[in-house]
Amino acid sequence: MGVILCIVTQEKKRKASLLSQATQSLGDLRHTPRMTQTGPRRLRSSALDDDSQPQPQPQPQPSSSTTGMRLIVPLQGIVQGRGGLILGSVIPCAMFYFLQFYLKRRRSPPASNPPSPGNLTDLSRSASRSNLLLPRGRPHVSSRVSSIAKANDSPYYIGLDKATSDPYDRLCNPGGVVQLGLAENRLTLDLIENWITNNLNESLLGGGLSVSGIVTYQPHDGMTELKLAMAGLMSQVVGKTVTFNPSQIVLTSGATPAIEILCFALADQGNTFLIPAPYYPGFDRDMKWRTGVELIPVNCRSSDNFTLSIPVLEQAFNQARKRGQKVKGILLSNPSNPVGNLMTRETLLSLLDFAREKNIHIISDEIFSGSTFGDEEFVSMAEIIDSEDADKDRVHIVYGLSKDLSLPGFRVGVIYSYNENVLTVARKMTRFSSVSAPTQRLVTSMLSDTTFIKSYTERNRERLRATYDLFVDGLKELGIGCTKSSGGLYCWCDMSGLIRPYNEKGELDLWDKLLNVGKINITPGSSCHCIEPGWFRCCFTTLDENDIPVVMERIRLVVEACKSPA
């Protein structure tokens, strides 16, 4: 307010002075004779002549402060008689004063000692730069992140996390969670360990190989040597009824990217695949997350031992078409995961005929084909194609070493396709999922040791059968039955008599008791899209013979708690 009063006082004085000068000029004009028409021009000329003469200039007064502000007072409104003192002078002057005051406060002071070019960290941050450090909110990510980054809501993954955070160990953590939800074969780790111990160095650097063979770039879709060895293993697994062509093999870092690449190559976003249910819960992530395809469960029932029938498949296909969904193929698991049954030759032939009629593809996941232990014969889709010798372009096989050879940490998967376009795409896509060169060298050496592979396969099947029998017999003593299984690392258990009420909620209540009370992680059927409540998948290959009584005792306590009147 003091500044404004000062400005007003100064303006009053200047206005009075201007009015006085104007009055004096008017008085002079009254005493001047009348001018002719040329008078004004002569007057202006005289004035110009006067202006052209040098005039003494007032000396500027030194400012009291070098940083002082200049006040510019617009007097046009006063001189011309418009706006008066307030509108013509005071308000504009006050606004301009405060503008200069604001700019001066925002201006950073000059540095007394400029920093050297080599020490730019000494530069002071300006006010505008400091504002960048203020919170601006979280940066945006893609819309795909929201569905993937959210917390696990499937009991399958919740149980895996629980068992991982508190794993059971007979000596170190006997009260931990027993892992029966992960299809991992630990029954033959001793065989793998012995071979690697004896052959590691020779496999990586022996046989004339140099270090450049394992540290330099190698083909993304796999080394030729490993493809040859893999073709031999796959032929041996199916009983040498089929010869696999190494040129039709694409190697990936596990079976998961193999299935994803096939979905990418065969379907567009929003297209669908038919899949017999119950099925492995991981397919919901493996096939859908990045490709955008959808899965349509084809419901199988216990009355048929959960085997797939063509009428049910036809019904699911027609219903999908009515909903406007475009079906691009069928995904099969043979042996079935989680049931463990095998598809017969007749069923596979019928499926191939169905695919021809509907002009769709077949993806046959045969990752457990070497882990069979029953009386049933395993038949590969490759054998069906060889016998038919037609429509090979629509059949694609997935294989890997995680299950049959107990090497999930090596991450070696296989795409075997008869479609050259699919193979071309798969070879390019493996740029994002290739197998490391040291792993390929080691696995090539292992698979080339035919004596070891033959011995391992036989002993693995013997141990699978023995452990399966012990586990299923233990459940039978508790009143829990299982379907007949001939392959895989698990059994499909019927606990429907223990759930109340008989629906998905009752099934999840029992699963929660087994996990948090019994400290046992098993996979509920609802996670596998089974429409009949009360079925559970139990992976018995994570146990040794001494662990099975511990598991049965824990299940017994939960069973008794469920049967008690309370």
How many residues are recorded in the chain?
566
Nearest to 541 by CA among 182, 185, 168, 167: 185
Element housing 338 (H / E): none
Are 343 and 334 in contact by the 8 Å Cβ rule? The answer is: yes
Q: Is 367 a catalytic residue?
A: yes
Give the number of other CB atoms < 10 A from CB of residue 549. Answer: 11
Q: Please, how many CA atoms are within 13 Å of residue 97, restricted to the half-sphere of its CB?
A: 15
Q: What is the 3-state secondary structure (H, E, C) of 425-477?
A: HHHHHHHHCCCCHHHHHHHHHHHHCHHHHHHHHHHHHHHHHHHHHHHHHHHHH
Which of the residues 78, 259, 363, 367 is marked catalytic? Answer: 367
Q: Is 365 a catalytic residue?
A: yes
User: How far, in Å, are 40, 163, 164 from residue 176 at the CA level?
Assistant: 112, 8, 10
Q: Is 78 a catalytic residue?
A: no
Q: Is the peptide bond before 335 cis (omega within 30 degrees of 0)?
A: yes
Which of the residues 403, 416, 490, 520 is marked catalytic? Answer: 403
To 10 degrees, the CA torsion angle through 431, 436, 440, 441?
A: 130
Q: DSSP assignment of 21-85, as one string? A: HHHHHHHHHHTSPPP-TTHHHHHHHHHHHHHHS--PPPPPPPPS-TTPPPP----HHHHTT-SHH
β-sheet bridge partners, residue 429: none
| Rounded Cα gap, residues 61 and 236, in angstroms | 105
Element housing 533 (H / E): none
Which of the residues 221, 284, 286, 365 is marked catalytic? Answer: 365
Which of the residues 156, 280, 416, 468 is marked catalytic? Answer: 280
Are 490 and 340 in contact by the 8 Å Cβ rule? The answer is: yes
Q: Which residues are catalytic?
A: 280, 365, 367, 403
